[in-house]
Each structure stands twice: as C-alpha cells, then as structure tokens.
Amino acid sequence: METAQQEATSAEQKTSIELTGSQAVLEALIAEGTETIFGYPGGAIMPIYDALYDYTEKLNHILVRHEQGGIHAAQGYARTSGRVGVVFATSGPGATNLITGLADAQIDSTPLVCITGQVFAHLLGTDAFQETDVINITTPVTKWNYQVTDANEIPEVLAKAFYIAKTGRPGPVLIDITKNAQLQKFEYKGYNFCNHIRSYRPKPIVRKEYIEEAAKLINEAKKPFVLWGQGVILGSAEKEFAAFIEKSGIPAAWTILGAGAIPSDHPLNVGMLGMHGNYGPNVLTNECDVLIAIGMRFDDRVTGRLDKYAKQAKVIHLDIDPAEIDKNVQTTVPVWGDCKETLPILTELVEAKQHPEWLAKFNEFTRQEVEQVIKDELFPSTEELTMGEVIQQINEITGGEAIIVTDVGQHQMVACRYAKLNKTRSNVTSGGLGTMGFSLPAAIGAKFGAPDRPVIAVIGDGGVQMTIQELGTIMQFDVDVKILILNNQFLGMVRQWQQLFHDRRYSFVNITSPDYVKVAEGYRIPGTSVSKREDLRPALERMLNVKGSFLLEVMVTKENNVFPMVPQGCSVSEIRLK
Amino acid sequence: MTAYIPNPEKQEYNITVYTENQIGLLTRIAIIFSRRKINIESLNTSPSEIESIHRFNIVITETEAVVRKVCRQIEKQVEVLKVYYNTNEDVIWQEMALYKVPTDQIAEKALVERLLRENGARAVVIRHDYTVFETTGHREETDALIERLQPFGLIEFVRSARVMIIKDSEGFNRKLREFESLEPGQEVSENEFLNSADKVFSM
C-alpha cells in the first residue's frame, strides 16, 4: 500500500491531500520510524484503530492484555533499542492504566510517546462516558503533554512529541486526541520533523572553562572516583566514557540504571553503588578526594545519608539536566551538557594516569565481600538454592550476552549485582519508581527492541502476579521471552526489612503462588519448575535453548537476605555485610 | 557558577516566570510547589511586553536553597522560557485592594477625606448604599486600611495578587524581543466545540 506520506511527497508538492486525523497520526509514526506500537483499543480511540486496519504492513501493533503492560512494553522497547516507545490507549480507564508506566518512564528518563483517545471535544467536562481529565492527571508524570481537539494540529503536535521525548533528558510525552479530531478530515500538507522549540533547550550550553576546572581537579587527585548512571547509555556515550576512565585510570562504579554501559569485567569497573551495591564503592565514596558523577542523579538509594555522603570530596557533576546539579549533592564543579560532547573534551584535558594503589583498595574490599557474601550466594553449600547461583549459572551459559529484564525486590538486587553484562542496553529494570510487575511486559518490549538478542525476564513470585496477564501477549505474538521466576514464597525485600528493622513481625509478606507451570501451560507456553541443584543447570539450558518463550520457576531458599546493605538513615560507609 | 550562600532564614521570594501562552501550563507550574508542600502566597499571570509571551509572578516564603531548586524545576518545563527569583529588596512590587463599606456609616462617622489621604486610597464607586475604596501598595499599606475601615462596618475586602518588576537591568527584555522576532509565538488553541454540542453527532 502506498502511504499518504509517499503520495504527498512523491507528487511533487501536490499541495496537499485530504486525510483524517487518525491517518495523520499513523503517518507521523511512520515518518518517525516507529515499527512497533503497544496498545489496547477502546471507544474513544476507535477511529485510530480503524485507520490502523489499513496500515498493518507498515506498523506492527502488539495487542497487550492491559494498558500498564503496554506502556511497560514500550519502556522495554525504548531501553533496548534506544528509540522512542509508542503506546496507544483509549480514554478513561485506558489512559489511567498508563499512569504507573508514565511515572516509571519519567523518573527513569525513558522516551515514550503515548497516544490516548479522548471523548468528543464538545463533551469535555460533561462527565461523558469514559471521560477523565487525562492531561491534568498525567501532568506530573510527563515531560510534556498536549490535548488535540482539531485534526489540523496533529502533524505538528506529534512532531513536537517525538522531538521532546527523545532529546535532552528523555522522558514520556502524552498526546490526548479527542474523537472528533481523529475523525475530522483536513488538508494534510506532509510531515515536517521538529528540531527546535523556542522555549525548550534540550542541552545546556557546554562551558569549557568548567571542564578545564574539572580536569585540573582530576589531574591533582590522588583518589579520584567515578560514578556513572544511565546518562552514559541515554547519551550513547559508552565509548567516550570508556575512553575517559581508561586514560585517567579512575575506578568507576555504576548506579543500577547505568549497569552495562561498560562490560562487567572491565578492569576499572569496581561495581554497583547504593543500598545493595558493592562493599568497596560504598565505603570508598567516603574516602575518595574527587568524586566525578556522570549522568546520574544522586538518588537517595545511592547516597544513603546525605550529610555523611562524600563530605571529604570535591564533586564534579556532569549532567544534561541543569536541575540535577546541586539538587542533592553540592557540586564543586558543574559540567552542564550532553556527556557525549563533554566527556571527549574532558578526556583530552586529563593526564594519562594509573592509580594502582587506589584501585587495590577496591580490590581488597571486593576480596572481603567475596569471602563474606558473594561466595555463599553464588556457590552455596546449603541444600536449598539461592537466587545468586541461578544468575551465576545464567552467566556461565550465556557468557553475559543476554538482556536481563528484572522486576523489583530481592531478585532485582541479586540479578543486577551478579548478572554479567558484556554489552550496553542489556539491563532493563525499574529503578527510580520501583514498579513491581514491570519485568514481564518490559521483557516483551525489550525483545521487540532487540530481536536478535536473548531476553530473560527475571521476576519474583510477587511481581509476576501483578502483570501475569501479559503471558497472553507472549502467547499471541510468539514473543521469544524467557521467563525466570525466582520463587522464595515471600515478598522478600519487605520481609527482609521486617526481619531487620521491625523485629521479624512478618506482616502480610507471605504470598502464595499458583502453579506457574500450569498457568504457562494454559497460555501454551512450555515450562518447568525446579528446586534441586542438580536440576537447575539442565533446566536453565533447556530454557535458553528452546525456540520461543519458556517459563522456568526456581524454588529458592525462603529467608535469604540481600547483602551488603546500607540501612536506611545510615551513611554509605556504614554498609553492612551481614 | 553561582556561589552558594548559606541562608537558613526563610524569607519572601518573588519568582518571575516567562512562558509561552499555553493551556495547562498553570497546572504544570503550580504542582511544582504543591508537590513539595510549599504554599503559594500570591500568583499573578499576565502578558509581558511581548504579546505572545506571558509572565507569572509567584510569591513564596522559603530559603534560597529551596527557591533555587524549585526555579530550576520550573525552568525545565518545555514551555517555560526563563525564571528569575528575587528578594523583596530586589523588586518593585504592588498589590491592589478593594474595600466595600456602607456609605451612611462612612459619610457620617469618618473623616473620609483624611482617611483617604492618609492611606493613599481613592473612592471607585459611591452609591447611596455602599462605597468602594481602592488602594495600591505594599501588604502593610493595604492591611492598614482594613483596620481603619473595620469600625465602619467593612462589608467586603479583596486583595489582588502581587505584581512586580525586577529593579536590576532591563531584565529579559532584549532576549525576549530577539526570541519573538526570530520565531513569533503561536496562538493558543482552544476548544471550539463546547457550545456546539447539539449540532454534533456523537456516541
């Protein structure tokens, strides 16, 4: 089918053609290079779905089982592909079901364009059927949102939506389109990409004098320490980042969303930051003399107690979002800008160095952590299985090539701590919002975003029951997702806190599970459940070698705790190994 | 880099926000305060010297550190052009107030002329049943007249939001004009259909 886009451009500026608002929406998506839409139809978005009927060769639509599943899938897609995830939902409940995903995408800076249907413009404010005030509900959880009541606005508004979603610090955008605008015929004059909005400055101006100042601090430093976050991945600056730490010889640790920007086994990668991060990076944050934060936002789960956080250090903060500078940690030298641009300038100015003694300190802490925590987690001598050994086995089988999509809780911390990641965009998790139920739908999207890579959804027995309906999506579209449920028969992270901080008063953390293998079977997904060590490896190999989706439930020890841990209200250097 | 001046004392800050004229922007700005449980003491929206560019004047009582962070969050919004914050010393500001009093009371019992002169007020309306005075000034001045009129049976009082002009320099004016000449602002798109419900087929 020849699309209207081609018609309009090929016909030598044939002035314009008549399109409906709905067709204009789909033309915009095609022009923006969208391949996959995750959505769910309903009354107020029916004209768009009607138009979609004629566009199925150009646009792949994945019918999810719940709008929350749709938006998490779009997030997974955006995270593994680096492109804008697109979601369709109807008005009212369809739109409100997007809220959790919007909040998640907002806090984790994921580029999305969500298109919601809305009641007819003349019905706005009349409590019409399936009418909710979507614009006002979504304002705090979107980078930008806009309501279209006239089809003439659609091409320009969608161009703006994509531009805003993907530029600067990325984020979710929601466009609410009233039904009359979807149906309205108008003179379509082609699609023009947006590359500038006069009130919006996606990237702050790079100020070289501050980079020079930063380089001076780094060159004088005896114990410099780099913290990196997702900004490195969002800015596609992995190479620039590696070049910087390799020249300056500075040990570097990652936030949970920064995982995988450089390979896990890179000699300068000293591990994970934060509450359940590695021992050395947390303790030595309070010993370094210059702290260089790159594309991260000093979340409270990373910093612990702020008044005892890196007080001895001079802080250099590289970020694209000026509002992040000095938000939580007082910066000595701010470096505003896209780290893809600022890092090469900084690398040029820093002296080639190595810090063997300083790096040895990290290694000494690693040795202690291996001895006291990691050994027992990855190679347990207990009868029952641990979460860590499951991840270790996956590392051995895949060699670190898989995309790991995690949910939220103990398994998330274990998976992120121990998963070997060779490539960037291999770690998809709900970081800032901590959304249980994220993993299963996000893994679906992750697979569409990176179809050539194995995708493993690692999920707890709590989280999987929050969005388990997306097994239907996996079934219907033959999505090759490996579903790994680490079942400890508890809401483990809450139980851990209740054990440590609430005198073991286990209040409603005891969660029962269905027979997941039977549930999967109902969805025509093969699966198995294991609880013995000798069965684990063959089951994992079967899961990873089978063509198509597979569900593997691993029964793990019930009351394991994730350590190390920075208890709430404590400094990072007060991290506990037990 | 702005030097960090520790200022634990809360005080009134006058925030000036230059924005596009867009529906929904008021909410987007207001929730930046309400999310942090900061009370907006005064909020005024008006056009600026450039027709398509609007300005918000917002007054809050906070520490400078909090005000600075809040302003950065406001400036981050797509349709916001620029944000300034200033202490009361740095701005010229005015609030307008209206007072309604029974005419018989005020005419008989008060030395109206003196009252008006001393409070910089003027009579806007004089009717046989009531009189409306107006005064413009700082909070203390508009408050003072309430106290003076209370004994004469003040019927109604209302005070406007604060409007302010930054003392320093010519502000953002040159930049704004440059902006506008490069790319004229767009007209706000409103819902054209609210009054045509009967003529539209819908289901």
Check which CATH number belongs to the domain holding B140 and give it. Answer: 3.30.70.1150
For chain B, the helix, strand and coil percentages under 3-state DSSP, each to the nearest 5 = 35, 35, 35
Q: How far is B194 from chain A (nearest CA, A)?
A: 4
Tell whether B148 is covered by a domain. Answer: yes
Which distant-in-sequence residues (6+ apart) come within 8 Å of A233 by Cβ? A257, A258, A260, A261, A295, A424, A425
* B125 located within any domain: yes
Query: Are A145 and B191 in contact (CB < 8 Å)?
Result: no
* Inter-chain CB proximity B69 and A323 less than 8 Å: yes
Does residue B188 lie in a domain region? no
User: What is the predicted pLDDT for the residue at B111?
Assistant: 75
Residue B108 is predicted with a pLDDT of 77
Instruction: Judge whether B203 lies within some domain.
Output: no
List the strands of the sheet with B11-20, edge to edge: B42-47, B53-62, B11-20, B80-87
β-pairing, A403-406 vs A455-460, is parallel
Residues B46 and B60 in one domain: yes
State how far the Cα of A417 lies from the Cα of A256, in Å rounded to an integer. 9
Contact (CB, 8 A) for A51 and A219: no
Q: Is there a single domain that holds both residue B54 and residue B66?
A: yes
Which token pair is A20? Answer: 């409906």
CATH topology of domain A208-361: Rossmann fold (3.40.50)
The residues near A119 (Cβ < 8 Å, ≥ 6 apart) are A44, A91, A128, A129, A130, A131, A178, A179
pLDDT at B110 over 80: no
Q: Where are the domains of chain A?
A: 4-188, 208-361, 379-568
Cβ-Cβ contacts under 8 Å, B68 against chain A: 326
Q: Tokens representing A424?
A: 């960037």
Terminal Cα-to-Cα distance of chain B (whole angstroms): 57
Nearest CB among B183, B185, B202 relative to A120 is that of B202
The answer to whether A393 is a known catalytic residue is: no
pLDDT for B157 equals 97
With CA atoms as reference, report the closest residue to B100 among B162, B151, B149, B161.
B149
Identify which of A135, A164, A198 has the shortest CB distance to residue B24: A135
Residues B173 and B75 in one domain: yes
Q: What is the DSSP letter of A565?
A: B
DSSP tally for chain A: helices H, then strands E? 24, 20
pLDDT of residue B184: 81
Q: Do domains A4-188 and A208-361 have the same CATH topology?
A: yes
Quote the pTM value: 0.94
Amino acid at A419: A
Residue B196 belongs to some domain of the structure: no
Q: Verify whether residue A35 is a known catalytic residue.
A: no
Determine whether the interchain pair B72/A123 forms a contact, defined as Cβ–Cβ distance below 8 Å. Answer: no
- pLDDT range class, residue B116, cuts 50, 70, 90: confident
| Domain shared by B84 and B15, yes or no | yes
Q: How far is CA A199 from the centre of its chain?
A: 28
B106 CA: distance to closest CA in chain A (Å) = 45
Amino acid identity, position A9 = T
Chain A positions in Cβ-Cβ contact with residue B27 (cut-off 8 Å): 136, 139
CB contact under 8 A, A122 and B69: no
A22 vs A26: CA distance, rounded Å: 7
Query: What phi, psi does A9 have (nearest 5°)?
Result: -85, -35
Minimum Cα–Cα distance from B182: chain A residue: A198
A346-383: burial string, b at 16+ Cβ within 10 Å, e else: bbebbeeeebeebbebbeebbebbeeebbebbbebeee
Are B73 and A323 an interchain contact pair (Cβ–Cβ within 8 Å)? yes
B148 and B107 belong to one structural domain: yes
CATH number reported for the structural domain that contains residue B80 in this entry:
3.30.70.260
Q: Are residues B74 and B107 in the same domain?
A: no
Q: Shortest Cα distance from A510 to chain B (angstroms)?
A: 34
Q: Does A543 qualify as catalytic in the annotation?
A: no
Among the partner-chain residues B1, B28, B179, the one whose CB lies closest to the CB of A139 is B28
Side-chain-side CA neighbours of A277 within 13 Å: the count stands at 30
CB contact under 8 A, A120 and B28: no
Q: Is residue B5 part of a domain?
A: no
Residue at B4 is within a domain: no
Q: Averaging pLDDT over each range in A109-123, B40-54, B145-159, which range is the top one?
A: A109-123
Give yes or no: residues B129 and B174 share one domain.
no
Q: Please report where in the chains the tokens 């270790």 appear, as a residue.
A: A392
Low-confidence stretches of chain A (pLDDT < 50) are: 1-2, 10-12
With CB atoms and an 8 Å threshold, state whether B76 touches A321: yes
Residue B119 — pLDDT band, cuts 50, 70, 90? confident
Q: Work out the percent of chain A whose per-residue pLDDT is above 70.
A: 97
Give one DSSP letter per residue of B161-172, joined into a string: PPEEEE-STTTT
Among the options A7, A35, A58, A130, which is catalytic?
A130
Q: What integer best gives the mean pLDDT of chain B?
A: 88
Nearest-Cα distance to chain B for A383, in Å, is: 49
Residues B101, B142 within the same domain: yes
Distance CA A154, CA A159 (A): 8
Q: How confident is the model at residue B180 (pLDDT cuts 50, 70, 90)?
A: confident
Catalytic, out of A14, A129, A330, A364: A129
List CB contacts (< 8 A) between A126 and chain B. 197
Q: Has A67 been annotated as catalytic?
A: yes
d(CA B16, CA B56): 6
Q: What angle do CA A202, A290, A204 make, to 5 degrees?
A: 10
Contact criterion met (CB < 8 Å) for A322 and B81: no
A201 touches chain B (CB under 8 A): no
CA Rg value for chain A: 25
Which residues from chain B sit within 8 angstroms of residue A210, using beta carbons? 1
DSSP 8-state assignment for residue B17: E
Which among B69, B182, B191 is the nearest to A327, CB-wise?
B69
Name the token pair of A160. Answer: 């703006």
- Is the same domain home to B85 and B170? yes
Q: Which domain holds residue B133?
A: 92-159
* Closest in B27, B72, B191 to A323, CB measured: B72
B43 domain-assigned: yes
Cα separation, A365 vs A371, whole angstroms = 10
Distance from C-alpha of A128 to C-alpha of B53, rounded to nearest angstrom: 34
Architecture of domain A4-188: 3-Layer(aba) Sandwich (3.40)
CA A288 and chain centroid, separation: 29
Strands (E), chain B: 11-20, 42-47, 53-62, 80-87, 91-102, 121-126, 130-137, 156-159, 163-166
The tally of CA atoms less than 13 A away on the side-chain side of residue A308 is: 14
**Dihedral (Cα; A209, A213, A219, A224), 10-degree rounding:** -130
Q: Cα separation of B158 and B100, whole Å?
A: 9
Nearest in space to A452 (alpha carbons), one of A480, A424, A428, A422: A480
Beta carbons of A140 and B202 less than 8 Å apart:
no
Angle among Cα A369, A373, A374 to the nearest 5 degrees reads 85
pLDDT band at B182 (very low <50, low <70, confident <90, very high): confident
Sort out which chain B residues have CB atoms less than 8 A from A326's CB and list them. 4, 68-69
Helix or strand or coil: residue A46? helix
The 3-state DSSP class for residue A96 equals helix
Of the residues A296, A413, A493, A555, which is catalytic?
A: A493
Q: Is residue A115 classed as helix, strand or coil in its secondary structure?
A: strand
Q: In A, residues 290-329, which contact B (CB 8 Å cutoff)?
A: 321-323, 326-327
What's the CATH class of domain A379-568?
alpha beta
pLDDT of residue A14: 56
Domain identity same for B82 and B117: no
Number of domains present in the structure of chain B: 2
Those residues whose C-beta lies under 8 Å from the C-beta of residue B133, and which sit 6 or more positions away, are B98, B99, B101, B116, B121, B122, B123, B124, B145, B149
Which residue in chain B has the smallest CA separation from A139?
B28
Q: Nearest Cα to A489, choosing from A539, A551, A556?
A: A556
On whether both B85 and B171 belong to a single domain, the answer is yes
How far is CA A370 from each of CA A222, A365, A533, A564, rounded to the nearest angstrom?
A: 26, 9, 21, 11
Same-domain pairing of B137 and B102: yes
What is the rounded average pLDDT of the residues B49-76?
A: 95
DSSP one-letter code for A257: G
